[in-house]
Amino acid sequence: MKVPIILVNYKVYETSYGKRGLEMAKIVEKVALETSTEIIVAVPATMITRVAEMVSIPVYAQHVDGVPEGAHTGAITPELIKDAGARGSLLNHSEKRVRMDEMDDALKRMRKLGLESVVCVDRYELVAPMALLKPTAVLVEPPELIGSGISVSKARPEVITSAVDEIRKVEGVYLVAGAGITSGEDVYVAMKLGSDGVGAASAIMKAKEPQKVLLEFVNGAIRALEERGGR
């Protein structure tokens, strides 16, 4: 994973699968290449192979089950997503919560397979507990702002600063901020407050001009990094 972390969660919009899902991946890849920035797409399990075969950007699953190989009908295991071409996965998104023991099971298997992991939490108090399980990153997202268009950067900056304080208690885990991120300014602020990047979904997936929005995001991120002296 590279800072700035910019993660586009496809969710299950009409732009998330089939031809449109592939076109979106092409758009994201274009911005990534033009700006020499890594941008992650977290796609539906059914799309991983198709996207991973078509673009060079990192592809994530949106969820992974911690169970081992065996009689687990319907499970999406770390082995399955790796085989499909994913480089990692979201975990514990507010729309797909998992229990703590399942999370630990999943993270252990993912590490063994060399998969990256972004564990979502809905409050800063869970940042350090989750970080202790050693995911690649923790993504903090106040659920009431998800999809709202009102960004965590503006509406609840203290969530980001508190989360940054928390993540520092554990070494080697990135902090990503999310929820309502819709502009380059939102990204800039989130990173100035100390996060290593942002997660977004509807702002990109439902945009008329996703390329333009994403470019703004990256520029906001780069500006913040430069001011922080990190790039």
Confirm whether 14 is a catalytic residue: no
SS3 181: coil
The binding track of 174-213 with respect to a second copy, each residue x by CB under 8 A or -, is ---------------------------xx-----------
Q: Which stretch binds a second copy (CB under 8 A): 26-34, 44-52, 149-157, 207-215?
A: 44-52
Q: Are 127 and 163 in contact (CB under 8 A)?
A: yes
Closest-CA residue to 173 (of 228, 144, 219, 132): 132
Residue 71 vs 209, nearer CB to a second copy:
71
| CA–CA separation, 191 and 32 (whole Å) | 18
Element (DSSP H or E) covering residue 16: none
Is 23 a binding residue for a second copy by CB under 8 A? The answer is no
Alpha carbon of 208 to those of 148, 180, 202, 213: distances in Å?
Answer: 17, 17, 11, 9
Q: Does 130 bind a second copy (CB under 8 A)?
A: yes
Is 72 designated active site?
no
Closest by CA position to 197, among listed 170, 163, 155:
163
Q: Are residues 85 and 52 in contact, defined by beta-carbon separation less than 8 angstroms?
A: yes
Among 6, 27, 40, 128, binds a second copy (CB under 8 A): 128
Binding residues for a second copy (CB under 8 A): 9, 11-14, 16-18, 42, 44-50, 62-63, 67, 69-77, 79-81, 83-84, 90, 92-101, 103-104, 121-123, 125-126, 128-130, 132-133, 146-147, 201-202
Residues catalogued as catalytic: 93, 141
